[in-house]
Amino acid sequence: MNQTRFDALIVGSGAAGLYTALRLTDLAPNWRIGLVTKDNLSTSASDWAQGGIAAVIDKDDAPRFHGKDTLVAGVGLCEAEAVDVLVNAAPRQIQQLIALGVDFDRTEDGSLALTLEAAHSRRRVLHSADTTGRALVSKLAAAVLQNPSIQVLSTTLILDLYMEKGRCGGVFYLEPNQEIGCLISPVVVLATGGGAQVFAQNTNPPSSTGDGVAIAWRAGAVIRDMEFVQFHPTALALPNAPRFLISEAVRGEGAHLIDHQGDRFLFNYHPKGELAPRDVVSRAIFAHLQKTQEPTVFLDLKPISKATIAHRFPNIIKICQQWQIDIFSTPIPVTPAAHYCMGGIVVDSYGATSIEGLYAVGETASTGVHGANRLASNSLLECFVFGERLAEQVSSQQTQIFDVSIAIAPNLEERGNSATIQNIKSAIQNLSWQAAGICRVQSELEIALTQICIWQAELTNLAEPSRLWIETRNLTDYAYLLMRSALFRTESRGAHYRSDFPDTDPKWQLHTMIEGEEIRRSHSLLNDDIRTT
């Protein structure tokens, strides 16, 4: 098979992958870096991010306040060391991004503009109108394309890791001619984003199919906290319209959530109303819709000045206008949708997984900073802080040479199964939304898990060299890990809500860990002595 060698290989082209690649070229200028993307450099969930990036900038703020807010949101499952790393490194990362040319919004006196988002105790969210992710990713992508040390492999689909004696030495990939190739590298970084496409209702791009988590799990990596999926409270809800995310920053600027009667119903569920944590707001909307039997609630922007709306939310204005909604005068119909996955591949504070030679960064990694519920605007920050630490760690290590002349590639043949595979993919998304969505219960999770296992076996027999099969296979494995974890955790905590176990149980202040077919509980990476099979 075709083999190409790199000193480091990064899979994924969102903020985490792009930034890690750039920092590696700074720290190891003689290295040859491969950056794999199954689409192009602008197709990622990072590019879709609206709200902003959190960092302590204001003189009345401090990292300890940012850290406390993060820990509170995480409901006892954040790793304190990782949170400390995140909040203390944040101001420096902002300065590096500014030096890279990222144009954050500023006030009239030229200082960085800061907004407030739910569960933050201070205004500390930097933004670039309502397209912060795009502002960041566009600058990073341009820098990557201009860097001679980075080779971008576009429209390249990763199948599985190449493993040699328990160590990761590269990846198998599908070439455009449907042949299997192997990319060889002593350093493989998975930066593939999340897996919210496992749900029928989600705010992610179509490429967010849980690839990194599924690939790593199949190779034997430890996976953590997959039950914790953040459902964004306010996604555009119109027939035939995509579930476009209406940024949390809209509520931070003063928008009200109202029902069909015009009532600000959220205060019946939480004293902070619109500024309650995301999981609280999502469940409150879900419960209110069940109570009222209405299809949506509404986000009313009239409390915000028209000048502020025009300045802060031009993209939301544009998208809503496409669906004949004038947000200056008409409330936006919204419902919750899957948005961000807190769980992922377990990594240490430098991005190393449980498999030697394999690293992960961004949403596909479980660093421990998000716990059971991510604090708003910490996700982009995590990409940069831990991307830099990963680059610092691996650039200081001595690389190894691998010989894969005897490697056995997966056997894929064109069988014309696309219609069957598409039906399975759609069924997985609908089943996951029904059984493992905002509210979960044992009976539905058990039925769903049994069906997922059937589809896993069926997809093995349907294997073919297509993007549809590769992504559906990954989604099915992702759904399996999600269902097992959600069924295993018999309590409600953060973004995980079990209607049959509605209370938070102190005995469950533990991580859910999956390695192969074993599932267990663990205090942390450093204290893994509590096991239940």
The CATH number for 255's domain is 3.90.700.10
| Order of strands across the sheet that contains 256-258 | 229-236, 332-341, 297-300, 256-258
Q: How many CA atoms lie within 13 A of 234 on its CB side?
A: 29
State what percent of residues in the chain have pLDDT above 70.
Answer: 93
Residue ranges making up the domain that contains 271: 232-338
With contact defined as beta carbons under 8 Å apart, do 315 and 252 qualify?
no
Q: Residue 478: inside a domain, yes or no?
A: yes
Number of domains in the chain: 2
Give me the helix-helix angle, 211-218 and 467-488, nearest 10°. Answer: 80
Residue 531 reports pLDDT greater than 50: no
Range name among 73-82, 174-183, 389-398 with the lowest pLDDT average: 174-183
Mean pLDDT of the chain: 91
Residue 527 reports pLDDT greater than 60: no
Q: Residue 252: inside a domain, yes or no?
A: yes
pLDDT tens-place string over residues 1-26: 788 999 999 999 999 999 999 999 99
- Region 278-291: mean pLDDT is 90
- State the pLDDT at residue 265: 96
The band of 410, judged by pLDDT with boundaries at 50, 70 and 90, is: low
- Region 433-444: mean pLDDT is 97
Task: Clarify whether residues 334 and 236 are in a common domain.
Answer: yes
3-state secondary structure of 153: strand
Task: Clarify whether residues 333 and 239 are in a common domain.
Answer: yes
- Region 392-411: mean pLDDT is 70
Number of CB atoms found within 10 A of residue 522's CB: 18
Residues contacting residue 63 through CB under 8 Å, at least 6 positions apart:
56, 84, 87, 88, 90
Cα separation, 192 vs 181, whole angstroms: 19
Residues contacting residue 442 through CB under 8 Å, at least 6 positions apart:
487, 498, 500
278 is catalytic: yes
Residue 237 reports pLDDT greater than 90: yes
- State the pLDDT at residue 513: 97
Amino acid found at 134: R
- Region 307-335: mean pLDDT is 94
- State the pLDDT at residue 504: 97
With contact defined as beta carbons under 8 Å apart, do 186 and 33 qualify?
no
- Of 338, 356, 384, the residue at which a domain comes to its end is 338
Q: Residue 464: inside a domain, yes or no?
A: yes
The band of 350, judged by pLDDT with boundaries at 50, 70 and 90, is: very high
Q: Residue 256: inside a domain, yes or no?
A: yes
Cα separation, 380 vs 15, whole angstroms: 7
Which residue in 23, 278, 283, 493 is the catalytic one? 278
Q: Residue 290: inside a domain, yes or no?
A: yes
Give me the helix-helix angle, 467-488 and 418-436, nearest 10°. Answer: 20
Q: Residue 494: inside a domain, yes or no?
A: yes
Residue 322 reports pLDDT greater than 50: yes
The band of 124, judged by pLDDT with boundaries at 50, 70 and 90, is: very high
3-state secondary structure of 171: strand
What does residue 115 show for φ and ψ, rounded to 5 degrees? -120, 170
The band of 529, judged by pLDDT with boundaries at 50, 70 and 90, is: very low
- Of 338, 372, 391, the residue at which a domain comes to its end is 338
Q: Residue 108: inside a domain, yes or no?
A: no
3-state secondary structure of 229: strand
Q: How many Å separate Cα 333 from the centre of its chain?
A: 25
- What CATH number is given to the structural domain containing 483? 1.20.58.100
| Order of strands across the sheet that contains 188-190 | 150-153, 33-36, 8-11, 188-190, 358-360
State what percent of residues in the chain have pLDDT above 90.
Answer: 80
The band of 179, judged by pLDDT with boundaries at 50, 70 and 90, is: confident
- State the pLDDT at residue 123: 94
Q: How far is residue 359 from each of residues 79, 184, 254, 414, measured CA to CA in Å?
A: 18, 15, 40, 32
Q: Residue 490: inside a domain, yes or no?
A: yes
Cα separation, 382 vs 97, whole angstroms: 13
- Region 248-256: mean pLDDT is 90
